[in-house]
Amino acid sequence: MNRLVAIIGPTGIGKSSLALELGQRFDGEIVNADSRQVYRYMDIGTAKPTADERALVPHHLVDMVDPDQPFSLALYQNQAREAIDDVQRRGKLPLLVGGSGLYVWAVLEGWQVPAVPPDSGLRQELEARARAEGVEALYHELEQVDPAAAERIDPRNVRRVIRALEVSRQGKLFSQLQTKMPFVDSLVIGLTAERADLYRRIDARVDAMMERGLLAEVEGLVARGFGLDLPSMSGLGYRQIGAYLQGKTSMASAVQQIKFDTHRFARHQYAWFRLKDERIRWFEPQQGLVENVAGLIQHFSAD
């Protein structure tokens, strides 16, 4: 079995729930494609699968590094490929699940990421600029030197913006570095919803995260010595709660900001997962979803 099924779409749409159902039905295993779930101790804010869910269906590429350890696209891609190969060798169905478009397409399109060595001095310079001027200034520079890369990078992702600028300073375009060897036997399932419905889902999930203890989780990370200025702590939920802990905002404002920023992030995800992309079979999360997707997978597996 050399097939791969990917389940993609905006945050909060129900990808993980669908993957759990399909994993049980098709003897599958889930390969994480969420850039935040790779970090240990960051469970609630990343909507990481619970222990019970991992017991139902095996998960790969979750809890890989501590929040203060570096993690790259190249490292993710290599380990994802190894996980997929391992699942296939054992005759099971790999399910690539997540909303990080960079990670998803790096696997599905087989990006061959060239080795552009890091420049620690330049990184420190750019990190200092980001702290002094804001990441917006760096993102604006990226828009000037490599607009194609800027379109694909979340403006709030300091690490990715700095990496793209680092590459450009070496006389290359980040957007043109990836050659591709596509993963041929793949089926891409996309989940989507009307904007108002998606926002309601997001808001309800944020409220649930707060009830589950997101504040305590961020406090615990800080107590472990993980600074709020770490790239891992810039993720949705952690950044806003961090501002509350620093006395920069009220709790009510922090929660509202998480919702607003997550809405914006969901819109940005559609730059990666386009509704007109013919490679993606789109579904809305409604009654009969599992049966409809299962039928598609059965047909795909039988070809």
What are the strands of the beta sheet with 280-283, ordered from one edge? 59-60, 28-32, 93-97, 4-8, 186-191, 280-283
For residue 200, the one-letter residue type is R
Question: Tens of pLDDT along 261-302?
Answer: 999 999 999 989 999 999 999 999 988 999 999 999 999 988
The reported pLDDT for the residue numbered 171 is 76
pTM (two decimals): 0.81
Range with lowest mean pLDDT among 15-19, 108-112, 242-246: 108-112
Decide: helix, strand or coil at residue 180. Answer: strand
Range with lowest mean pLDDT among 20-24, 117-121, 163-167: 117-121
DSSP notation for 231-292: GGGGSTTHHHHHHHHTTSS-HHHHHHHHHHHHHHHHHHHTTTS-TT-TTEEEE-SSTTHHHH
Question: Tens of pLDDT along 244-254?
Answer: 999 999 999 99
Q: How many CB atoms lie within 10 A of CB 24?
A: 11
The answer, yes or no, to whether residue 178 has pLDDT greater than 60, is no
Quickly state the pLDDT bin for 26 (edges 50, 70, 90).
very high
Q: For the residues 131-139, what does the mean pLDDT come to?
A: 90
Quickly state the pLDDT bin for 158 (edges 50, 70, 90).
confident
Is 4-113+179-302 CATH 2.40.30.10?
Answer: no
Range with lowest mean pLDDT among 19-33, 172-186, 268-282: 172-186
Q: For the residues 95-114, what does the mean pLDDT come to?
A: 88
The answer, yes or no, to whether residue 116 has pLDDT greater than 90, is no
The reported pLDDT for the residue numbered 263 is 97
Tokens read off for 19: 């993957």
User: What residue spans in the chain does CATH classification 3.40.50.300 cover?
Assistant: 4-113+179-302
The reported pLDDT for the residue numbered 110 is 87
pLDDT, greater one: 155 or 1: 155
Quickly state the pLDDT bin for 224 (edges 50, 70, 90).
very high
Range with lowest mean pLDDT among 13-17, 151-155, 202-206, 283-287: 151-155
Residue 94's DSSP bridge partners are 29
Quickly state the pLDDT bin for 168 (edges 50, 70, 90).
confident
Residues 6+ apart with CB under 8 A from 237: 44, 45, 206, 209, 214, 218, 258
User: What residue spans in the chain does CATH classification 1.10.20.140 cover?
Assistant: 120-176
Give, in order, the Cα–Cα distances in Å from 262 to each of 12, 249, 254: 9, 18, 12
Which residues of the chain form beta strands (DSSP E)? 4-8, 28-32, 59-60, 93-97, 111-112, 179-180, 186-191, 280-283
The reported pLDDT for the residue numbered 177 is 65
**Domain 120-176 carries which CATH code?**
1.10.20.140
Tokens read off for 64: 């890989």
- How far is CA 127 from its chain centroid? 22
